[in-house]
Structure 1
Amino acid sequence: MNARHLGIVAALTTSLGLAGCSDDDAPVPPPVAPAPPVQGAPLPRLAPAVGAALGACAELATRISYPDTHITAAKPVAAGALAVAGKPVAAHCQVTGQMLRRVSPVDGERYAIGFEMRLPLDWNGRMFYQANGGVDGSVVPATGPAGAAALDNALNMGFAVISSDAGHGAPTPFFGLDPEARLDYGYAAVGKLTPMAKSAIQAAYGKGPDRSYIGGCSNGGRHAMVAASRYADQYDGFLVGNPGYRLPLAAIANIAGAKTYAALASTPGEPATGFTQPERALVSNAVLGKCDALDGATDGMIQDGAACQAAFDLQRDVPTCSGARDGACLSAAQKTGIGALFAGARTGSGATIYTSFPYDAGLAANGWASWKFSAPINLDSGAVAFIFSAPPEDPASFDGRDFVLTRSLDQMLARINATSARFPENAMSFMTAPDATNLGKLKQRGAKMLVYHGTSDPIFSSDDTRDWYRGLATANLGDASNFARYFPVPGMNHCAGGPATDQFDMLTPLVNWVEHGQAPDSVTASARGAGNAAGVNADLPPTWSATRTRPLCPFPQVARYKGSGNVEDAASFACR
């Protein structure tokens, strides 16, 4: 194990008061219990950020100095040279570099934490850490997505933005052979990069950031959620999208799904034929038939997800095939297997792997199918085998399809919880937020957290995020809404897509909450129909307006139709 491991772990502090007296005759006062937190007590409000102007860009290549950090370039980028969602990005300076270069004593590969920072000429005094998705491994443009399919970005809003490869230089899972690279991917790269980025901003503008934000979707949402626990003192706002809250478990559950679909397949070896597109449309339409009107409007959207799960029953509400499968029914075996996956995947011995998935309107989307049928073999297999397992598999003999279809789920579950001399921290430790519902440091600082999750997400279940949020509320006397709010996105698949209004800006409301005390009671989301600058959502039903809007509501509220008004307009709905 490399002795230079610099993983940063947020310290848990406790205080112990000891009372004593010098007079043996004096009474000893009884211990005083700490006052319980007061429901609804006001929290600190953080001051708004104050901006500054950037000086010469090229000079930053030599002016930025931080231990074990190599700045490889600093170059000006003209206004409009970069565009996001068709919108030209303002002039800025692009700084690239690496931290902590090393050669692994385990696999002999060269590692470093690669990064880029984009520093606007007209800076708003804020930093945004762009947490990227997948297995990381590449430094993508540091623009700072403001939400799902957003039309603006943090860089264009005036933030200084950093993006990184999380400590390995290729988007493949083989870095998992190196213990330090695993920790960098899980949490340590954020801890190492954050003080460096603030130091670089100080060098660039003559002052550090007044307010710091971190955000991302998918694995990026997981990064932000972990940072809320480990680095609550470093960030003021946390933007968490479709988080892989318990990513190793979700990956194994997806492998369990592939095993089930392969067993149901009409074409051997092709899991997609175990639950075909016509069959998925059949189930989606049956769910809509039971649930669409529960929010007061029959509009192809399921706003009241909780009521829907109580109203819909797969066995009762979908026809059972009496003969061959033809897309108009499900076989009895399909109902048993698919129903078990939605209820929560289990191992062969009956051990629970992951949480349930909600029945929703987005099951027929191509994105749903890709995650369920292709990702287990092409993505989840490598992640479980090399990043999460102790010990990892042998790359020379590894076959992803064989791993998924023949290996024991019980063994996979055991190995992601295992440690060894070489891998002393298991995957459930380095990939998940420690004590995830204990965010007292974040709360008491005045920091804020906004979370969103598509209810048709096929890989990370919105039920898992909902359960986490319920736990957070329980840990805060039943209500965490004064510092953290969760917004389900009806119909949305993984970070975008599905029959959904999947375009929204969550960064602006987060800033307004952190710096101005304006808690978001709803966020307006739009459909991405023809002509949308961020790209058309191919999953939109043809009966919808291309510009349909809906309010996203903080859980447990749902958007309900007011009883009159245009059903394509968010103004006709209220969060209740």
Structure 2
Amino acid sequence: MSASPAMVRAPGRVGPRRRASTPRALLALLAFITLPAKADDACRALAGVALAHAKVESAMVQPGADFPAKGDRLAAHAGAHCAVRVVSHPTADSDIHFELWLPPADAWNGKYLQKGSGGWGGEVYTYALVTPLNRGYATAVTDDGHVADGTAGFTVGHPQKIRDFGYRAIHETSVLSRRLIAAYYRRAQSQAYFVGCSDGGREALMQAQRFPGDFDGIVAGAPAARWSRLMTAFVANARRLDDAPLPVSKLAAIQKASLASCDALDGIRDGIVDDPRRCRFDPASIQCKGGDSNDCLTAEQVATVRALYAGPMDPVTGARIHPGLEPGMEDDGGSWRLWILGGEQRKFGFSNFADLVYQGRGWDPAGRDIHRDLVAAQEREAPYLDAFNPDLRAFRAHGGKLLLFHGWGDAAVPPRGTIEYVQDVGNFMGRHGEPANLDDFARLFMVPGMGHCWGGPGATSFGNEEVPPPGLPQDADHDIVMALDRWVTEGKAPEQLVATRTAEAVDSPARTRLLCKYPQVARNGRCVAAGNPP
């Protein structure tokens, strides 16, 4: 998920973090002048590489590129590289574009890293390639097979584009990029990694499930894995709010009360709920007694907040459609304010059903048959978009390593869904003769105080952002992508990560926090067994 076609632009930080960009024109010119002619020739030669159902549209050496600060995006500079643009047509209705950046041969670390998309995709978002390129990776990103307009309109009348978005564009980019890497460097990559969050996290899990040999290591952040159910939950939440509106002005009172009830459960009052599953906050505790105001909730609003925490139910089967939201970050700018009351869930859910599921006909946004919608979604989109298959035996046999992370304050993709997936994988493996303990190939890190993919009141920088904030440590103890690389190449599995937050990132003090391998939690600077939540 994302609040925009490109996941990296999704609001989720509390306020922007802008940096002035140092002029680099002279350095870029010098880098371009000193690039050996043979590198330029080798880059241009990629235009002649024969690719199955695909074509290299352009291949040229770029001296370097500045990415100015924009919105919540940090200023960044990409080093010199060979930029390759490719279009692939695996079907007559497919139009998959991707861009591959190749560092100079003497700067290449011998590895390939592919980035995931976000939201509905639809953009070759090259900003996501800056950090891996500068670290020496050959790196690529795709538009998922269509042009972005913020909706699922591209799917109407185009069943192959649904498949492209669901899984095929990522696989095509991987296969073709590796072919071009071998042509450029005259040798194959030693390792291949995939890194994505939100829809990119869904894509990450899809790779492990459908194409287990594509990547040696995968980072799946906040994966929108059970897409069909998540979109149904979005619509159910929107209709609940239509029936019993919740004013934005009430969010501060809700968060204040939930923190008062649950913040100190881990022994520290720091404005963060460490494990919301232990929280027993009841919004009825602030129900209005002497008239409505912003400091209290009406009886109808109490019911709405309870429903949002619980997650919507299928009125026919009585089963929960998708896990609900967690307490503690209701008033955060990238949490309920954006996704619940700001309309992002509504936008995604309504377009999903009107365009993708019902193909522009037969769906009433004001309708109330949520069971019908769920059944239709599971029939018409789940086979191509859902990435909740617990069978990771082939990925494990390939030697693949999987790192997952999820923010406890995520209001876009509620976090308990990821915990459920990891548990399902363990149960499946155990039933099929595999070790039920996933530690040898898969680990999950839950992040207190973090919203969707990044941002929030906690320490939330651990290599999960497209470009790391300046001044933060960049090593395998502080960066989840580098931790993955170390696990794959050195066999050292991450037991914990250190998340950091700079004082200037948002209007609050700097802090660090230990992130522990689930189900452990941090206590007094150590990761310890959490026990079962009540």
Query: Normalising by structure 1, what TM-score?
Result: 0.75
Sort the Cα spacing of 1:447 and 1:281 in 2 relative to 1 into closer, same or farther, 3 A: same
Indicate which of 265, 282, 300 corresponds to 1:313: 282
Which residue is 2:137 aligned to? 159
Structure 2 residue ranges without an equivalent (≥5): 1-37, 464-479, 530-534
How far off is 1:575 after superposition? 4.8
Please say if residues 57 and 75 of structure 1, whose CA atoms lie closer than 8 Å, have aligned partners that are also in contact: no
Length, aligned pairs only: 461
Q: Which amino acid aligns with 2:496?
A: S
**Residue 175 of structure 2 is aligned to residue 175 of structure 1:** no
Which residue is 1:291 aligned to? 262
The whole-number CA distance in structure 2 between the counterparts of 1:204 and 1:58 is: 7
Sort the Cα spacing of 1:415 and 1:573 in 2 relative to 1 into closer, same or farther, 3 A: same
How far off is 1:89 after superposition? 2.3
Q: Which amino acid aligns with 2:265?
A: L
The whole-number CA distance in structure 1 between the counterparts of 2:42 and 2:66 is: 16
The SS at the match of 1:487 is strand
Q: Which amino acid aligns with 1:282?
A: A
How far off is 1:365 after superposition? 1.3
Structure 1 residue ranges without an equivalent (≥5): 1-52, 105-110, 145-151, 266-273, 419-425, 531-535, 563-571
Residue-by-residue CA offset, 1:374-404 (whole Å, 9 max, x unaligned) = 12443321122222x1x4124xx98xxxx44
**Residue 492 of structure 2 is aligned to residue 507 of structure 1:** no
The SS at the match of 1:438 is coil
Please say if residues 459 and 511 of structure 2, whose CA atoms lie closer than 8 Å, have aligned partners that are also in contact: yes
How far off is 1:287 after superposition? 2.2
Which residue is 2:8 aligned to? none
Sort the Cα spacing of 1:351 and 1:60 in 2 relative to 1 into closer, same or farther, 3 A: farther
Indicate which of 373, 389, 400 corresponds to 1:447: 400
**Residue 374 of structure 2 is aligned to residue 413 of structure 1:** yes
The SS at the match of 2:95 is strand
**Residue 438 of structure 2 is aligned to residue 464 of structure 1:** no
Residue-by-residue CA offset, 1:477-519 (whole Å, 9 max, x unaligned) = 4421221111111121111222221211210000011111111
- Within a 5 Å distance, the mapping from 1:66-81 to structure 2 comes to 66-79=51-64, 81=66
Sort the Cα spacing of 1:354 and 1:291 in 2 relative to 1 into closer, same or farther, 3 A: same
Sort the Cα spacing of 1:337 and 1:143 in 2 relative to 1 into closer, same or farther, 3 A: closer
Which residue is 2:80 aligned to? 91
Large movers: runs of 4+ above 3 Å? 53-58, 79-87, 101-104, 347-353, 403-407, 572-576
Please say if residues 55 and 205 of structure 1, whose CA atoms lie closer than 8 Å, have aligned partners that are also in contact: no
Residue-by-residue CA offset, 1:62-103 (whole Å, 9 max, x unaligned) = 343211211111122224545784443221111112001776
Indicate which of 248, 264, 271 corresponds to 1:276: 248
Which residue is 1:370 aligned to? 338
The whole-number CA distance in structure 2 between the counterparts of 1:349 and 1:520 is: 43
Please say if residues 367 and 493 of structure 1, whose CA atoms lie closer than 8 Å, have aligned partners that are also in contact: yes
How far off is 1:444 after superposition? 2.3
Q: Which amino acid aligns with 2:140?
A: I
The whole-number CA distance in structure 1 between the counterparts of 2:271 and 2:346 is: 32
Please say if residues 496 and 517 of structure 2, whose CA atoms lie closer than 8 Å, have aligned partners that are also in contact: yes
Sort the Cα spacing of 1:195 and 1:359 in 2 relative to 1 into closer, same or farther, 3 A: closer
Please say if residues 57 and 74 of structure 1, whose CA atoms lie closer than 8 Å, have aligned partners that are also in contact: no
Which residue is 1:224 aligned to? 204
Sort the Cα spacing of 1:529 and 1:258 in 2 relative to 1 into closer, same or farther, 3 A: farther
Query: What's the C-alpha RMSD, in Å, of the aligned pairs?
Result: 2.4
Sort the Cα spacing of 1:60 and 1:488 in 2 relative to 1 into closer, same or farther, 3 A: farther
Q: Which amino acid aligns with 2:492?
A: Q
How far off is 1:153 after superposition? 2.1
The whole-number CA distance in structure 2 between the counterparts of 1:362 and 1:196 is: 42
Query: Normalising by structure 2, what TM-score?
Result: 0.81
Please say if residues 302 and 361 of structure 1, whose CA atoms lie closer than 8 Å, have aligned partners that are also in contact: yes
The SS at the match of 1:303 is coil
How far off is 1:328 after superposition? 1.6
Sort the Cα spacing of 1:482 and 1:69 in 2 relative to 1 into closer, same or farther, 3 A: same
The SS at the match of 1:56 is helix
The whole-number CA distance in structure 2 between the counterparts of 1:487 and 1:283 is: 27
Please say if residues 142 and 163 of structure 1, whose CA atoms lie closer than 8 Å, have aligned partners that are also in contact: no
Sort the Cα spacing of 1:414 and 1:80 in 2 relative to 1 into closer, same or farther, 3 A: closer
Indicate which of 476, 487, 493 corresponds to 1:519: 493
Please say if residues 46 and 184 of structure 2, whose CA atoms lie closer than 8 Å, have aligned partners that are also in contact: no
How far off is 1:231 after superposition? 1.0
Which residue is 2:321 aligned to? 354
Q: Which amino acid aligns with 1:359?
A: E
- Within a 5 Å distance, the mapping from 1:546-561 to structure 2 comes to 547-560=510-523
Q: Which amino acid aligns with 1:430?
A: Y
Q: Which amino acid aligns with 1:410?
A: H
How far off is 1:428 after superposition? 1.1
Which residue is 1:259 aligned to? 239
How far off is 1:320 after superposition? 1.3
How far off is 1:221 after superposition? 0.4
Sort the Cα spacing of 1:550 and 1:575 in 2 relative to 1 into closer, same or farther, 3 A: farther
